């Protein structure tokens, strides 16, 4: 069965620290996405990727970097975490425009 | 923003009732997807309707699409407590592989 997994599931970080969120998919999808979800804003796209080695900026990329070292793995990196980045982060995979995206279970990040 | 009227709202109903959620969007789309997100989980697609379809059914779900008014609706008949979730509509952003999500409708179904 198609699956997207995320780690860690919960993370507490300090302001100014570095945080890496990891995502793995077994769907063999070319595209992968990172979203954050905040009350009142729904899901907002941070970064996405078309395949290994590619990363693209989404709608709210400031303060975030992304890395796609392989078809299966996509990481979201917060070099200098801030309290405003406290949120729930979702990774998703998909095969392109108009096609279903498969989401992971989410990572709850708290930046103190 | 891709969205016209905000579709963020909260609905509270009793089991067995029917419910309809609406969303409107600003720019052309080839498909509208409806996702359901249960508490503590990621969103999951429940129904997808393409621009050449006016209606799509799947079990107790019915989606409609009106491209002239750029609006879509999701209806659930005979709701169950397990339908309690947040429902998002989503459209594709033209010439990209991105999906744009609305802010969602929170549905609470009481037994």
Decide which of 3.40.640.10, 3.40.1380.20, 2.60.40.10, 3.40.50.1220 is the CATH code for A4-111.
2.60.40.10
Note the residue count of chain A.
Answer: 112
A65-84 pLDDT, tens digit per residue, is: 999 999 999 999 999 999 99
pLDDT at A35: 97
From the list A35, A96, A105, which residue is nearest B97 (CB)?
A: A96
Cβ-defined contacts of A59-65 (< 8 Å, 24+):
A60/A36, A64/A34
pLDDT at A97: 64
The answer to the question of residue B111 being in a domain is no
Longest Cα pair distance anywhere in chain B, in angstroms?
44
Show the domain range for B72: 9-105
pLDDT at B29: 84
The answer to the question of residue B89 being in a domain is yes
Distances (CA, A) of B44 to A65, A78, B29, B90: 26, 26, 20, 12
Q: pLDDT-based confidence at B21, cuts 50/70/90?
A: very high
B54-108 pLDDT, tens digit per residue, is: 999 999 999 999 999 999 999 999 999 999 999 999 998 777 778 888 888 999 9
pLDDT at B4: 43
pLDDT at B6: 43
pLDDT at A41: 78
pLDDT at A1: 61
Q: For residue A45, list chain B residues with Cβ-Cβ distance below 8 A.
A: 98, 100
The domain that holds B64 is classified in CATH as: 2.60.40.10
Q: How many domains is chain B built from?
A: 1
Residue in chain A lying closest to B48 (CA): A100
Distance CA B66, CA B4 (A): 14
pLDDT at A98: 61
From the list B33, B42, B97, which residue is nearest A90 (CB)?
A: B42
pLDDT at B27: 80
Chain A: residues touching B (Cβ < 8 Å) = 4, 31, 33, 35, 40-45, 48, 50, 58, 90, 92, 94, 96-98, 100-101, 103-106
pLDDT at B7: 52
pLDDT at B94: 74
B30-43 pLDDT, tens digit per residue, is: 899 999 999 999 99
The continuous run of DSSP H or E covering A89 comes out as: strand A87-94
Distance CA A35, CA A14 (A): 21
Judge: B42–A97 Cβ closer than 8 Å, yes or no.
no
Domain boundaries, chain A: 4-111
Give chain A's residues under pLDDT 70: 1-2, 97-98
pLDDT at A47: 97
């Amino acid at each position: 069965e198609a699956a997207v997994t995320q780690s860690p599931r919960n993370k507490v970080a300090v302001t100014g620290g570095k945080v890496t969120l990891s995502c793995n998919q077994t769907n063999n999808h070319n595209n992968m996405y990172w979203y954050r979800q905040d009350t009142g804003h729904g899901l907002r796209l941070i970064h996405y990727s078309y395949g290994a080695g590619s990363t693209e900026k989404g709608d709210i990329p400031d303060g975030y970097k992304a890395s796609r070292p392989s078809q299966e793995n996509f990481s979201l990196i917060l070099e200098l975490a801030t309290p405003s980045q406290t949120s729930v982060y979702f990774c998703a995979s998909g095969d392109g425009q108009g096609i279903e995206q498969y989401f992971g279970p989410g990572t709850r990040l708290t930046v103190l | 923003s891709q969205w016209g009227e905000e579709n963020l709202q909260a609905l509270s109903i009793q089991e067995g009732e029917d419910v309809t959620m609406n969303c409107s969007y600003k720019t052309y789309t080839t498909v509208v997807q409806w996702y359901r997100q249960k508490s503590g989980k990621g969103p999951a697609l429940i129904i997808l309707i393409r621009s050449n379809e006016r209606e799509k059914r799947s079990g107790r779900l019915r989606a409609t699409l009106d491209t002239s008014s750029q609006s879509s609706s999701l209806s659930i008949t005979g709701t169950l407590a397990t339908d309690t979730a947040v429902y998002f509509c989503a459209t594709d952003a033209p010439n990209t592989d991105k999906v744009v999500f609305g802010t969602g409708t929170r549905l609470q179904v009481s037994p």
